[in-house]
Amino acid sequence: MEAFSVCQEVSTEIVFFDLETTVPNRSGQRFFVLEFGAIVVCPRKLVELESYSTLIRPKDLSVVPVRSGRCDGITREAVANAPEFEQVADKIFSILNGRVWAGHNIQRFDCVRIKEVFAEIGRPAPVSVGIIDSLGVLTEKFGRRAGNMKMATLASYFGLGQQKHRSLDDVRLNLEVLKRCATVLFLEASLPSISNGSWHSPPTITTRSRSNTGKLTYREETSKKSPPTSPGHQRTVPYTRGSLGKHGNFLSVLVTNKEHELIMKQMTERVKNLLCKAQGSQPLNNLLKHSHSVLR
């Protein structure tokens, strides 16, 4: 309820929608709408405010195949007892009219079908206040790194499973794909040097050790040497968790072999000095067996 009031104050809501239709098997054959599904989301928080889906029975049931060629596709039996479009037209109109329309390839397909079915029953079609076609947006902004940019391909690229070709499932899949693409683009814009395979800022190594009092102390060492651009002399060394916040578990920096050896040598010397001070005259070789407790 709070998200709904925030959306009303901020801007027009966005409705993601999708149509499932028959697939024409010859030239000139029309599409028949078999299912409508939509979710209304708040543009500020992208939270789902409302959802609706319904199967739709064509006047001529014979246009629907007995068996669907798609996984989880719609069959003649599935729509046999569904309402005709005229019976659900009011609800569909109320969901679409006066909102921003969003979907995958909706400009060339879904928007055209909506106009057709409303014209067929002699009623004016709903009007959008804007259209977000994720096919065009992602092709322009995200590029074709995911292949042909079909929804099934994008879902596979991001590991989201198979496209089900059911309206409400596909709508939610579309929104999730957009979120994933936006996150990738945000990270690339925020950290361009990492996305380009290089890192120009000096890496910070955070170490922790125990003082003479037994308390943990933290120290950051910053290397003054910049890594070379030649890829032949680079190796990947992960950041410590604290140096990149919540992204520290998957972001890494490129450091030269020589620099890495220098860092490790410095850390080894510090450990030796700390162990000697902490343990006094005990043999160093015995103490080094327990160094894992200092560097854990």
Give residue-wise pLDDT tens across range 261-283: 554 555 545 544 544 554 544 44
Q: What is the mean pLDDT of the chain?
A: 74
Catalytic status, residue 104: no
Total domains present in the chain: 1
Which among 57, 37, 41 has a CA at the least distance from the CA of 169? 37
How far apart are the C-alpha atoms of 221 and 270, rounded to whole Å? 12
pLDDT number for residue 27: 79
In the chain the first and final C-alpha atoms are separated, in Å, by 47
pLDDT in the model for residue 265 = 53
Long-range pairs, 188-193, Cβ under 8 A, ≥24: 191/251
Dihedral of the alpha carbons of 89, 93, 94, 95, in degrees to the nearest 10:
110
Question: Is residue 246 included in any domain, yes or no?
Answer: no
Instruction: Decide: 154 and 138 in contact? Cβ < 8 Å.
Output: yes
* 286: number of Cβ within 10 Å: 10
Q: Is the pLDDT of residue 226 over 70?
A: no
Which among 125, 85, 129, 134 is positioned nearest to 107, based on CA atoms? 134
Whether residue 22 is contained in a domain is answered as yes
Q: What distance lies between CA 1 and its chain's CA centroid?
A: 25
Query: Per-residue pLDDT for 127 more than 80?
Result: yes
Residue 175 maps to a domain = yes
SS (H, E, C) 230-280: CHHHEEEEECCHHHCHHHCCCCEEEEEHHHHHHHHHHHHHHHHHHHHHHHC
Structural domain includes residue 103: yes
Tell me how far apart the alpha carbons of residues 123 and 86 are, in angstroms, rounded to a whole number: 10
What value does the mean pLDDT take over residues 187-197?
A: 73
* 66 in any annotated domain: yes
Is the pLDDT at 118 greater than 80, yes or no? yes
Q: How far is CA 152 from CA 111, 164, 168, 175, in A?
A: 20, 9, 15, 13
Residue 37's DSSP bridge partners are 18, 53
What the block records as the tokens of 47 is 């939270």
Question: Is pLDDT above 90 for 111?
Answer: yes
DSSP assignment letter at 30: P
Both tokens of 164, joined, read 């089900």
Domain membership flag for residue 206: no
Q: Does residue 275 fall inside a structural domain?
A: no
Single out the catalytic residue among 104, 165, 233, 247: 165
Find the mean pLDDT for residues 274-295: 46
250 pLDDT more than 50: no
The CATH number linked to 41 is 3.30.420.10
| Domain of 154, in residue numbers | 14-190
The secondary structure element, H or E, covering residue 93 is: helix 85-96
Distances in Å between the alpha carbon of 296 and those of 53, 87, 236, 240, 291?
53, 67, 20, 12, 8
Q: Which of 100, 86, 74, 83 is nearest to 21 (CA)?
A: 74
Task: Please write the tens of the pLDDT for every residue from 3-21.
Answer: 444 455 446 899 999 999 9
Per-residue model confidence (pLDDT) at position 193: 65
Mean per-residue pLDDT, 43-71: 88
Whether 160 maps to a domain, the answer reads yes
